[in-house]
Amino acid sequence: MRRRWIADEVTGDTAALVGDHATHLSRVLRAQVGQEFDIAAGDVVRRGTITTISYDRVEFVLDATPRREQSLNPTAPKITLALAIFKFDRMEWAIEKCTEIGVARIIPIIARRTDAHLAAAAAKRHDRWQRLVRQASEQSRRSTRAEITTAVKLKGLAGEGILPAEGLTRIVLDESLADADEKFRLAEVLQSSSPAAEVILAIGPEGGWTDSELTCFHDEGWTAASLGNTILRAETAAIVATALALEALR
């Protein structure tokens, strides 16, 4: 099975990787002219043969027959993960695994319980997070990379351009519902919701969302849900919630 790369540039029957994306292939993997890979461009994948290599650019000629990915369903709901920022090594593990599972977009959130030094460092971490989701998207053989936005404060989550105005189901994970009736379980909430073009799941930091944050979610029309009667670490909750949502919405 050929390794897959998501093209940075596509023009007709040629494609290219650029920047550090190309550097990884040319210098780390020691690619050579004539090697063949699968090149993803939108909803099609084509076999690409390397024609030129430089430090920050690798160019391919694409075969004439694109194949459409059978797994892609343009009408299927997209999953967005609003992930409160917590300890970076564990958060980045969650970002990687949720991308592999199939999340469409990740929005890092500066929550009340986010450590101040992590909140301050989040902006400088964004380039690393973009590389991480690109690599995880390619490793899991996705045809498009997941998106990860810059970090925003919770009150900015509803800001113009961040979330669509319509066709969005908003669900916030609330640890206080762990022992509540099963109707508050995430799978039940998803199944009882009206079909939407996109679902956004809000996952709190260690210690969960504060009462004032949960009130804010409620006031903005979010539905509260739980993952059952156990309290999970933030990274585990993110992965479990993403997997449950994708399964429920298939």
The span from the CA of 56 to the CA of 9, in Å, is 13
pTM of the model: 0.82
The span from the CA of 138 to the CA of 5, in Å, is 6
Any idea what DSSP says for residue 56? T
Backbone torsions φ then ψ of 85, nearest 5 degrees: -75, 130
Structure token pair of residue 13: 């029957």
87 contacts 248 by C-beta, under 8 angstroms:
no
CA 43 to chain centre: 17
The span from the CA of 249 to the CA of 242, in Å, is 11
| pLDDT of res. 159 | 64
Mean pLDDT of 104-119: 95
The string over 45-56, giving b where at least 16 C-beta atoms fall within 10 Å of a residue's C-beta and e elsewhere, is bbbbebeebeee
Structure token pair of residue 34: 């004539």
Task: Indicate if the pLDDT at residue 183 is higher than 50.
Answer: yes
Q: Give pLDDT tens digits for 62-107.
A: 998 776 654 444 455 689 999 999 999 999 999 999 999 999 999 9
β-strand 198-203 against 168-173: which pairing, if any?
A: parallel
Number of other CB atoms surrounding residue 21 within 10 Å: 21
Mean pLDDT of 197-225: 91
| pLDDT of res. 243 | 93
Backbone torsions φ then ψ of 130, nearest 5 degrees: -65, -40
C-alpha angle 122/218/116, rounded to 5°?
20
Domains of the chain plus CATH, in order, are: 4-68 (2.40.240.20), 78-248 (3.40.1280.10)
